[in-house]
Structure 1
Amino acid sequence: MASLYYSYVFSLALLGSLLASPVLCLAHHNNEKKHNVALFAFGDSLFDPGNNNYINTTTLLQANFWPYGESFFKDPTGRFCDGRIVPDFIAEFAKLPLIPGYFQAEQGGGFVNGVNFASGGAGSLPETYSGLVIDLKKQVQYFKNVAKQLKGKLGEKDSNKLLSSAVYMICIGSNDYLGPFITNSTILNTYTHEEYVDMVIGNIINAIKEIYMEGGRKFVIYSVSPLGCIPFSRALKLQQTNRTGCFKELQVLTEMHNKALPRKLINLEKTLQEFKYSYFDFFTAVNNAIDHPSRYGLKEAKTACCGSGPYRGLPSCGGERRQFKEYELCKDVGDYLFFDFVHPTEKFNQLTATLLWNGDPNFVRPYSVKSFFEHF
């Protein structure tokens, strides 16, 4: 167990069904006062575009080394993937450029198309990997800094219009649940499971309210995926119990989270004027892909493409930059759901983004992401 102490740091994601290519014509801004519908992203490693490259953290919380990035960028960017992540695809569908990470945008001075604040390993609780990540509260503070700069650059009227028309994507919570199991934390003994889930969701709701106070109206919110069934959790269970399968207690926590979060969003819609949301049932979507990989053009949904150990579930992808120096790399990443011990392949990220964009009613409700860029 000690060898796995620092192993899990990020979060995850995936799934979908590849649908028709979206078409959306948006005017390109010819000057600073004309803008597209901007995209702002908050969250963990599923959304991190490389923000952790700029903070003082461990290499285990970074992905700025090969083979990350191999499928699309050819060089590592800090994305925890072989290629693009979901916000990259949503930006593409919306005819936006790649949305820069906060530190990149600061250096380039470009905020009008949006900013990505996500940080690998981040949670909604500030205690989750404290000091090594940009937690959700800090991400929201960075967003407030951006809102202030936009007001100074565009003026009150145009900055308010940009912020109110923008789309806000949030994917957070996974690390809050995985962390206690990985670090031998006693926090789950301090609180009941219900109390702990309430704290995690409470911080997510508070973040949404703070963004709303700055003008945000359209939100895309991820559920937590089936954390007990990712390659890392399968390897952890096998090491602890010598049995294969999903890690049950983690599954129970994620199911509790995913039952409570939609109810909170419904309440927000009732109490916050003009608040609209698209909830992505990530848990069900990922489970379906794990159970029926061939339906999504996959051959392997339990073992990762890159890693070592059972299910390639040890955090060894990248070798010299990881705790475990040796690793295996699959021949065809397109056959796999997971790229490494927790993160999906670019192929799955594209499937997920397409699912979100088109708003498959089996997984996305009540609005498609596409409608947020076209209407309201």
Structure 2
Amino acid sequence: MPRSRCRRISWRMAAKSSSSTRRRPTSRVAAVTFRAHGRCGSISSARHKGCTMLRFALTTLISLVIGATCATSYVYADAVEDFYKGKTITVITSTGVGGPFDLTARALAKHMFRYIPGRPTMIVRNMPGGGHVLATNYMYQQAEKDGTVIATVNNSVPLHQVLGGQGVRYDTRRFYWLGSTGTSNLMTVAWHTSGFKTMDDVMQRELIIGATGTGSGTFIYPNAMNVVLGTKFKIVMGYKSTAELDLAMERGEVAARAGASLAGILQERPTWIEGNRVVMLNQIGSERDKAFPHVPLMHELAKTPEQRRILTLLSRPPALGRPFFTTPDVPRERAVALRRAFEATMKDEAFLNEAKQLNLEMSPFGGERAAAIVNDTINVPAELVAKAKAVLEPK
């Protein structure tokens, strides 16, 4: 190696220098090595030849490591792009057409594809049924596990699982969570002509309330209040979607409904609030919504510490918001690419503008947080789960 080249290397990589113009080592490995050979920078050093060889070997090793890392990243990126090019990703929504879940899924599909390597086509498929259990089971048992199917389901499905709910053939811990579009408290509302004004009224006389299925908050919450608090909700099952249930309440088939997302009401039925067409009986969440500070939380209605613990457990779902996930066992590089694409879409100006036009409230968060919320819901003390199970199934 030419002497001038050696001098430049010595000057650049020396561990210390009294000159203010000399730069610190950019590599910790290099810094440690050359502090041990402080005289290597001297051309007259007896160790000059050995140190030159050491520098060459070290530089070569670092270059190989960096090159291998970059090459691996490129291989993964190319593999993901090659896979998704020309493919179609199906977005499953566990609700019928219309409503915040469906509209959010369609808006996401319209914009998210641009952030997925290979720019696949994205379509939406509605799969209502069983209070969101049908779609969740499909994602766990039948959907392709190659990254071509993602889903959005009700945030109550982890709770339905931990309580051993009817029809569960899934484990939410094994899904790969992409993130959530945001949280919103769930409301129990009565139609304005029902004559019910507060929860005290529901303790005194029967209130007919509609539900879509045992895995849905439309059933879980009124049933929980009946068992734990002694309310008199009469639950009418069989509605295929919350949109159908809302219409049934407006027509007078039922007088109330539970598990109604506040964001969903504002998006789908703004006249309910603006025109005082519904009475807010209670809300489910960790804290009262700022717009309704006078409406009690479900767990605040508890009369004993044990009742409060059970109702607090049942109030966990709103923290998950409107989540999106893909199937178990998707190759990691594809799953990571989907999560990154989802999180990028949540910051996309065109997507956010469309969400605003649709009155979809957005307060998104990423996949790691969504997965943590799911795991926290599942991993509750067995003793509390045993006490809470009684509130899930019909009596």
Structures share fold, TM-score greater than 0.5: no
Question: Could you state the TM-score of these two structures normalised by the residue count of structure 2?
Answer: 0.28
Task: Name the larger-Rg structure.
Answer: 2
As a proportion of its length, which structure holds more helix? 2
Bigger share in strand = 2
TM-score (norm 1): 0.29
